[in-house]
A and B are shown apart, each in its own frame.
Chain A
Amino acid sequence: MKRTPFYSMHVALGARMVPFVGWEMPVQYKGLIEEHLATRTACGLFDVSHMGEVFVSGPGAWEQVQRLITNDLGKIGPGKAIYSPMCLPSGGIVDDLITYQFSKDKFLIVVNASNVEKDFNWMKKNFDGVEVENKSDEYAQLAVQGPKALAVMSGITEAKLDGLAPFTFVESKVAGVDAIVSRTGYTGEDGFEIYFNAEKAEPVWNAIMKAGVPHGLMPVGLGARDTLRLESGLMLYGSDMDENTTPLEVPLKWTVSFEKEFIGKKALLEKKTTKKLVGFELVERAVPRHGNEVYVDGKRVGVVTSGTFSPTLKKPIGMCFVPPDHPKEKRIGIRIHEKIVEANITTTRFYRRDAK
């Protein structure tokens, strides 16, 4: 089992450590709901060092990455990042990625922990004439998320974070350590993701904790990371999508640019969708979970991909697959503990911070 460079800090904080895709990770420190709400109202600190970092460099890198991902690199430029799936020729999603552009010849692609090897091999197979390096083990990654994230980070970096737009990044120093700081995250809140040398894990962690605690910052485990992303309509690879799912079957149409060439384009143009991912809310108190069956008129039609009891909205929510022609107004039934619980179809974006 792999450990991140923050392992000893988690243990010292009394975190409950669990196995997660080959890593020993903190699932919670004080309590899932408390950590979730701290991120919504103040700030959360997340160790996400299990994520993978793949660097692509050399002449032609732009063209190679452009062909790899479904979204259009033409929308960004140096200093900016873009979210995109990369697909198989079948249109199935290999992974969903954040691609950071340093220059036309240098990119950082951040991949899911569960897919590091698969993605790295996929890129090597499909790239031609550029250098691809898997630097996942050299990098630590922390996320600082929440309405107080800017205040927390501003005190410990020279970077002008105030003017840093969403999905842009700077190379600067955090607590004196060289770091890439990007205004991105996986919680639906404002916040930052910070990439730096794994050997500098402790001083950076300690500086963020020291700067953050007066603002109400708490370390947050994978448990609340999952509920925060679900409330915000952010999908999880392996749960809500996989190689048997295309970006057109989940709410990722906005990340597919048919104006350009990319792997999987032909299939996405030609193939009919066989399912669609929707949000739902149960009409009574129960907790939907990944794998629960979805029924319409007594017939099994789909499956729950993610579910939880929303700590912010205080109701049971989830995402599930239904047939592509399922009308939004028609209730579905979710089989939970041998009972069918009724649910209304909703948007997948249950929570928006603007709405506060």
Chain B
Amino acid sequence: MRFTKEHEWVELEGDIATVGITDHAQHQLGDIVSLDLPKVGTKVKQFSEFAMIDSMKASSPIYSPVSGEVEEVNAELGTSPQLVNESAQEKGWMIKVKVSNPKEIEGLMSEEQYKKFCGEKK
């Protein structure tokens, strides 16, 4: 799993990347009550906004860690957005992307680097 400075995670299997927000991010956002996710087939670009997440407190954009095309969307989040709070890095995944450039992932942080990054920002 790799991480962005905007607190997204990505896990690559073959050429399919699963994307979500980190546990640290969900904790900061608080109770999540709505997600505006893209449709299957939407093109996403690395570090560009692909979704909006609404917690009780605020709306926040979510940026894609990779470029490619949305293959699958986590439909469960439509009715159960709290899954992102309960399981941000597993059941709360948001989209699966068919990546156009797998090398993009190499520039992202490892888990250790991300933990350090979150610690420094406190």
Show the binding face of A for B, using Cβ within 8 Å.
27-28, 31-33, 223, 227, 285-287, 289, 308-309, 311, 316, 337, 339
Contact = CB atoms under 8 A, between A and B. Distances in A.
Given A287-B34, A309-B33, A309-B34, A33 B56 contact: yes
B56 A309 contact: yes
Contacts of A286: 34, 36, 54
B57 interface: yes
Interface string B56-69: 11010000000000
A308 B31 CA distance: 12
A32 B33 CA distance: 11
A287 B33 CA distance: 8
Contact of B30 (A28, A285, A308, A339): A28
A28 B58 CA distance: 14
B79 to A, nearest CB: 8
Contacts, number: 35
B78 interface: yes
A13 to B, nearest CB: 16
B33 A223 contact: no
A153 B59 CA distance: 38
Contacts of A308: 56
A33 B36 CA distance: 20
B109 interface: no
A317 to B, nearest CB: 12
Given A227-B56, A308-B56, A309-B54, A31 B34 contact: no
A32 B31 contact: yes
Given A286-B34, A287-B33, A309-B34, A27 B56 contact: no
A289 B36 CA distance: 15
Given A223-B57, A285-B34, A289-B59, 9 more contacts: A32-B56, A223-B56, A285-B78, A286-B34, A286-B36, A286-B54, A308-B56, A309-B33, A309-B56
A337 B57 contact: no
